[in-house]
Structure 1
Amino acid sequence: MSKSTLKPDILILGGGIAGLWLINRLNAAGYQCLLLESHTLGGDQTLASQGIIHGGLKYALGGSLSSESESIAEMPDRWRAAMAGNDPVDLRDLSVLSDTQHMWSSGSVASRMTNFFASKMLRGRIEKLSRANYPSALADKAFKGNVYSLDDLVINTESLIATLAAPVRHRLLAFDPQHDTLTWNDAGLACATVNGLRIEPAMTVLAAGNGNPALLEQAHKAHLLEQEDSQLRPLKMVLVKHDLGHRLYAHCVGTSNKPVLTVTTHDCPDGKVVWYLGGDLAEQGVQRTDAEQLAAGQAELKKRFPWLDFSQAQLATLDVVRAEPKQQTLVKPDSAYARRDQNLIISWPTKLTLAPDLGDRVMALVEEHGLQPGEPMMLPAELKQAPMGVPYWHRCF
């Protein structure tokens, strides 16, 4: 086995959307990068997300546009530019599940929202649909309410991971926590030893999502990023596998300033589809057992879609933990997050949709540090590639 030392410009820890977006962005700028992943690419938060690329419109439910919605308003256009090949990160091979999302409401809620959605503030971003254009799941004559179209995308997260991995596949390396090691000094990560090979990066980016807290703990011991900490925001999602044929990508509006229910649709290998249920159902679900959450999901389906027969559907739950920079009172961060200390950067996209924003922020920190792209590297054969992740709904039923 070769005992040579690799000296990449940047080593990225974590192979979810953050790490994969960053290695593509930095690679396009000429930097020699490697990425280490201790499990599977995209297998934690990214493949458990609903794939919604939104511009903050769902945060307008309270009747006003918040700073959060303003900060991410340009994100759908940024993703579309990447999908057209007009961005440093090339997403031309990305599969899109839906070019738009829908929002539906009924009763007094429908009346209250109609005037706001028609305001100049949102004109062109939200359109009220005629009944003839309702998605099939809401087209039944028993549905009494309004449906709106939002200029948000829903992407196939498995395709996203594959598309981001393809150009840099040989640089996405498996890290075995049982045998491989990280060594720190007062400037950052001194080296990583992977399958006996020493890797000495000029800079390191922590982009490991739920793995960032443990990495931060190690950095703190080296007196790095001592003011940075993380918070975890759990969800208990519900999956509904059925063969009713309806594909729905929509938010159900309730009386609060967040969706009661968010539905996306995903394909199973056997030809059936899964409705993946998030929103308030998933947020409140963390206080329930799995059995209680399954019952709550069934009750929500019956309440929202009484004209659909889910009696033959299979249901499952999935616990998801979103990792974010720590905020006062655990509020949601309103943008992507990146901070540098010496040769070490901590990063979180905070939401899938904000990956381009994260790329901008990390690139600015790298350039601010004065790091210049180095010479191309030849990678030895003993470095193993990190395996690709598989969506939960491919294996949970």
Structure 2
Amino acid sequence: MNHSPLKPDILIFGGGIAGLWLINRLNAAGYQCLLLETDTLGGDQTLASQGIIHGGLKYALSGNLSSESESIATMPDRWRAAMAGDDPVDLRQLQVLSDTQHMWSSGSVASRMTNFFASKMLRGRIEKLKRDHFPSALADKAFKGNVYKLDDLVINTESLIDALAAPVRERLLAFDMGRDTLEWGEKGLNAVTVNGQRIEPALTILSAGNGNPALLDGAHQAHLLPEEHSQLRPLKMLLVKHDLGHRLYAHCVGTSNKPVLTVTTHDCPDGKVVWYLGGDLAERGVERSDQEQLAAGRAEIKQLFPWLDFSQAEFAVLNVTRAEPKQQALVKPDNAYAHRDHNLIVAWPTKLTLAPDLGDRVMALVEESGLEPGAPLTVPAELEQAPMGVPYWHRCF
């Protein structure tokens, strides 16, 4: 390729929720951006997430809805604004799986929850349901607990990737680690060469999730972002494919301050559905082998839903690695995180739901850098586009 260098205002690494949200947000502000992805768009963490846009109410289980939860509390409304076309990031094409989420408990926990959820703090954000409004999976007479409705959304993550990719599709480029090169300078990334095409950005954003550690190594060698490190937190999620018809979007609450189980429901191409299981089951599962986790999941489901017959269901394990900023005293897990050093920004949403918060933080850093939107950019047709990711449940059974 013999083109003269491309000079975008901003180059973004990572085609998951962070990078895709940021390119849309910056594009709406007039900045000329390119995004580089080493694998598939959304294919690592985003399409492996449960798609829950929550306002922090599950943290209330510990009685901890403090000021640090304010940014997360506003997130469902921010996503709804984007879905209505009232946000710089346009999500009018986003498919919602459920407008609400449920929380259920049984036995002695149920009475404790009744008192807690009646507290002033939560009034208006959570509602106790009468039995005839229970989700179908919990409607059996054998179920003796309480069910509450939360105002949290659950979205289809595949349609999220589609909606975010569509307006900027020709700017989402494939990056080959074996072929392409990075050239660091004292103020940031001087250039990247992609399939022979030199790209010289004014500003670079590292928002590659699990790819950030390697990118930060390069930055550290150039004496940039020396204090910034990432941590990876593994999860062992479980998938249960069945044709029982029940669509459940809910947290099961036990005696601890974490949901015992978080269930979301997703469609398979063959018409069956998958219950995607997270929560404490997925966190504790990291210490188990896949076989042990499958056994633990079967036992959990049998105990929680004794009236449902999962004997014909198929089970699968999905190992997911969440990427976050290394937790320092000042970093709260219910905020997004972004930091700038010269012409380099490192960013993590920390949770899918916090993508709008990340957009605000990065936008403020870009404006603070003094960068003005530049001339329109034409992307050479020879540059290969990053492929779209595919949800795990489309290919694992």
**TM (normalized to structure 2)?**
0.98
Distance in 1 separating the partners of 2:356 and 2:329: 27
Would you say how many aligned residue pairs link Structure 1 and Structure 2?
Answer: 397
Q: Unpaired runs of 5+ in structure 2?
A: none
Identity %: 83
Residue 5 of structure 1 aligns to a residue whose secondary structure is coil
> By how many angstroms is 1:90 displaced?
0.1
Residue 120 of structure 2 aligns to a residue whose secondary structure is coil
Please name the residue that 1:250 is paired with: 250
Alpha-carbon contact 2:71-2:357 (below 8 Å) kept? no
> By how many angstroms is 1:70 displaced?
2.9
Query: 1:198-256: per-residue Cα shift (whole Å, max 9, x none)?
Result: 00000000000000011001100000000001111110000000000000000000001
Q: Which letter does structure 2 place at the counterpart of 1:180?
A: D
Please name the residue that 2:382 is paired with: 382
Please name the residue that 2:221 is paired with: 221
Alpha-carbon contact 2:104-2:252 (below 8 Å) kept? yes
Alpha-carbon contact 1:184-1:219 (below 8 Å) kept? yes
Matched, 1:275 2:275: yes
Residue 121 of structure 1 aligns to a residue whose secondary structure is helix
Q: Which letter does structure 2 place at the counterpart of 1:352?
A: L
Distance in 2 separating the partners of 1:272 and 1:215: 40
Distance in 1 separating the partners of 2:199 and 2:108: 61
Structure 1 residues 387 and 90: CA distance shift in structure 2, 3 A:
same
Please name the residue that 2:196 is paired with: 196
Residue 178 of structure 1 aligns to a residue whose secondary structure is coil
Distance in 2 separating the partners of 1:3 and 1:31: 22
> By how many angstroms is 1:378 displaced?
1.1
> By how many angstroms is 1:329 displaced?
8.8
Distance in 2 separating the partners of 1:330 and 1:243: 46
Please name the residue that 2:240 is paired with: 240
> By how many angstroms is 1:115 displaced?
1.4
Q: Which letter does structure 1 place at the counterpart of 2:318?
A: L
Alpha-carbon contact 1:2-1:380 (below 8 Å) kept? no
Alignment of 1:284-299 (within 5 A): 284-299=284-299
Residue 320 of structure 1 aligns to a residue whose secondary structure is strand
Alpha-carbon contact 1:59-1:66 (below 8 Å) kept? no
Matched, 1:363 2:373: no
> By how many angstroms is 1:4 displaced?
1.6
Distance in 2 separating the partners of 1:364 and 1:323: 23
Distance in 1 separating the partners of 2:239 and 2:69: 27
Please name the residue that 1:62 is paired with: 62
Query: 1:117-145: per-residue Cα shift (whole Å, max 9, x none)?
Result: 11221111000000000000000000000
Deviates more, 1:79-88 or 1:111-120: 111-120
Query: 1:59-116: per-residue Cα shift (whole Å, max 9, x none)?
Result: 0112342444333000000000000000000000000000000000111111001111
Deviating 4+ runs (over 4 angstroms): 328-332
> By how many angstroms is 1:330 displaced?
12
Distance in 2 separating the partners of 1:330 and 1:290: 35
Q: Unpaired runs of 5+ in structure 1?
A: none
Distance in 2 separating the partners of 1:219 and 1:328: 20
Alignment of 1:1-397 (within 5 A): 1-328=1-328, 333-397=333-397
Q: Which letter does structure 1 place at the counterpart of 2:25?
A: R
**TM (normalized to structure 1)?**
0.98
Query: 1:137-192: per-residue Cα shift (whole Å, max 9, x none)?
Result: 00000000000000000000000000000000000000011101111011100101
Structure 1 residues 332 and 393: CA distance shift in structure 2, 3 A:
farther
Alpha-carbon contact 2:125-2:150 (below 8 Å) kept? yes
Distance in 1 separating the partners of 2:212 and 2:68: 23
For the aligned residue pairs, the C-alpha RMSD in angstroms reads: 1.2
Alpha-carbon contact 1:67-1:334 (below 8 Å) kept? no
Residue 6 of structure 1 aligns to a residue whose secondary structure is coil
Distance in 1 separating the partners of 2:259 and 2:368: 40
Residue 339 of structure 1 aligns to a residue whose secondary structure is strand
> By how many angstroms is 1:384 displaced?
0.6
